[in-house]
Amino acid sequence: MDPIVRIGKGADALNSGDLCRLLAACARYWATKLQGMKLGPIDSSRIEAMAARLQAAARAQGAAAPAPVATPTAAQEGTKVTFSSSLKAMLEQVNDQQLKADGLAQRFALGDDKVNLSDVMIERQKASLSLQATVQVRNKLVNAYHEIMNMQV
């Protein structure tokens, strides 16, 4: 299978504009694939209009001022944050993202009128990116562990 879009910058540099371009490329790719299958005409103008709206939203979001960093409250200051608890919380977030995407895809497959295909695609991409980032963090941790174990004392 030939790649649709090759992203050479890495998962850390991927932003919402890149995601919009990726989704637009995927939509164009599958529109051409489906047209070749004699399923009838596909209105690519609607797909491109949706991609333009997503890109405009990404530009508007990028132009907005960054949210202020929350300061810890008195209750939060008393709790000690450990590496393992942080890692566990992040893994739970990735798992929740995967479950949310799967649930949305299942609802769409069952014919729920409240679920759009674009919402399913976006949630799947978010889940995929979060899983890829998690795998990259795991790889970095394993590499760091191996480097520490190979150090001479």
- The model's pLDDT over 29-45, given as tens digits with 9 standing for 90+, comes to 666 655 555 544 556 67
| pLDDT tens track for 115-143 | 889 999 999 999 999 999 999 999 999 99
- The DSSP symbol for 107 reads H
- Mean pLDDT, the chain, whole residue set: 74
What's the N-to-C CA distance of the chain in angstroms?
48
Per-range mean pLDDT, top range of 22-36, 61-75, 98-112: 98-112
Mean pLDDT along residues 43-62 = 73
Higher pLDDT, 55 or 7: 55
pTM of the complete model beyond 0.75:
no
**Rounded-to-integer distance, Cα 47 and Cα 28, Å:** 8
| Gap between the Cα atoms of 45 and 52, Å rounded | 10
Classified as helix, coil or strand, 66 is coil
Task: Answer whether 127's CB lies under 8 Å from 100's CB.
Answer: yes
- The region, left, alpha or beta by phi > 0 then psi within -120 to 50, assigned to residue 40 is left
- Confidence label for 77 from pLDDT (cuts 50, 70 and 90): low
Q: What angle do CA 30, 21, 110 make, to 5 degrees?
A: 45
User: Exposure pattern of 28-61 as b/e (b: 16+ CB <10 Å)?
Assistant: eeebeeeeeeeeeeeeeeebeebbeebbeebeee
